[in-house]
């Protein structure tokens, strides 16, 4: 069947996300969730297609994402899981909390595949050696592409338990926060809006400094009054309807969001239809 393009290309921005766009997207999702990705950019006032917003959120902006280099244990887990699952990156990501399918895919193609290739083994080993000749030390993930924020590389023992952590096999790590995803699975319950509290987010990292930048980013973003955004939020009935009819939004979810909105104090003005 003829599929319409994911979005109207006309007038929609492509390429790297700016910090401003990130903030708008984060603020919108914090406030309204993402019941409908296609409608989200319009509601948030972003000149992006829903697909782009979704990818940006899932691969970069979700607060439960673990940034930085992969530990040896994680790499071993990826190799093992790849042997079992093949190129089902989302399934692999589901077993590596905090890692996205895109990230795992990148690591596989850039490191692990070569490592498993016997012809590259020697070369790869040389690269692994700290003082080995020719190995390019991984740069400390400097911001790229329009203000991308990356945490400094963690030490190799960051997530020894990651590979064995129990994670729902049904949903990947890319499942949304509104679907009681890995955030909950990692025990960060009780935080408002389904986000991990900053304390839990940072304290879950063995090295608190690892997320220093992200913490400041989230602190800034979470504390930022929404009115400070240039782009007006447009909570509309369509979104509420989408959330209400969403297959993943049960009555409890609706009650939860309603409570959140009520507590925010502006539900009357913002969402009169709920």
Partner DNA sequence: AAGAGCCCCAACCGCTGTACG
Partner DNA sequence: TCGTACAGCGGTTGGGGCTCT
Q: Which residues contact 97 (CB under 8 A, 6 or more apart)?
A: 64, 66, 162, 165, 167, 173, 182, 185, 186
Q: Is 272 helix (H, G, I), strand (E, B) or coil?
A: coil
10 binds DNA (CB under 7 A): no
Closest CB to DNA among residues 185, 200:
185
Residue 194 CB, shortest distance to DNA, in Å, is 14
Is the distance from CB of 163 to CB of 96 less than 8 angstroms?
Answer: yes
- Tokens 């700016």 correspond to what residue? 18
6 binds DNA (CB under 7 A): yes
- Tokens 């590979």 correspond to what residue? 163
Residue 265 CB, shortest distance to DNA, in Å, is 28
118 binds DNA (CB under 7 A): no
Pattern 29-48, DNA, x by CB under 7 A: -------xxxx---------
In 10 A of CB 145, how many CB atoms? 9
Apex 91 CA angle, 83 and 120, nearest 5: 35
Give the H/E segment covering residue 245: helix 237-245
109 binds DNA (CB under 7 A): yes
Q: Dihedral sign, CA of 141, 142, 145, 146?
A: positive
Residue 15 CB, shortest distance to DNA, in Å, is 5
State which of residues 83, 118, 119, 145 lies at the interface with DNA (CB under 7 A).
Answer: 145
**Positions that interact with DNA (CB under 7 A):** 1-4, 6, 13-17, 36-39, 50-52, 54-56, 59-60, 69, 87-91, 101-103, 105-107, 109-111, 127, 133-142, 144-146, 148, 150, 171-172, 174-176, 179, 245, 247
């Amino acid at each position: 069947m003829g599929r319409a393009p994911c979005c109207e290309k006309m007038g929609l921005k492509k390429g790297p996300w700016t910090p401003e766009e990130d903030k708008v997207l984060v603020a919108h999702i914090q406030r309204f969730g993402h019941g409908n990705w296609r409608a989200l950019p319009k509601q948030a006032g972003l000149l992006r297609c829903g697909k782009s917003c979704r990818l940006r959120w899932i691969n970069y902006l979700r607060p439960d994402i673990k940034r930085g280099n992969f530990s040896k244990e994680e790499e071993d887990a990826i190799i093992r899981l790849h042997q079992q699952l093949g190129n089902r990156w989302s399934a692999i990501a589901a077993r590596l909390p905090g890692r996205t399918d895109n990230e795992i895919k990148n690591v596989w193609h850039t490191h692990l595949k070569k490592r498993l290739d016997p012809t590259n083994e020697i070369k790869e080993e040389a690269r692994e050696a700290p003082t080995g000749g020719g190995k390019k030390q991984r740069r400390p993930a400097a911001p790229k592409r329009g203000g991308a924020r990356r945490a400094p590389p963690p030490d190799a023992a960051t997530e020894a338990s990651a590979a064995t952590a129990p994670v729902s096999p049904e949903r990947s790590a890319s499942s949304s926060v509104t679907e009681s995803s890995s955030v909950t699975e990692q025990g960060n319950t009780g935080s408002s809006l389904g986000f991990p509290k900053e304390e839990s987010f940072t304290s879950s990292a063995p090295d608190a400094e690892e997320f220093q930048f992200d913490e400041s980013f989230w602190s800034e973003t979470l504390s930022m009054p929404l009115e400070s955004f240039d782009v007006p939020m447009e909570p509309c009935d369509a979104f509420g309807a989408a959330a209400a009819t969403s297959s993943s939004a049960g009555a409890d979810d609706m009650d939860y969001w309603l409570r959140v909105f009520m507590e925010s104090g502006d539900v009357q003005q913002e969402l009169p239809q709920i």
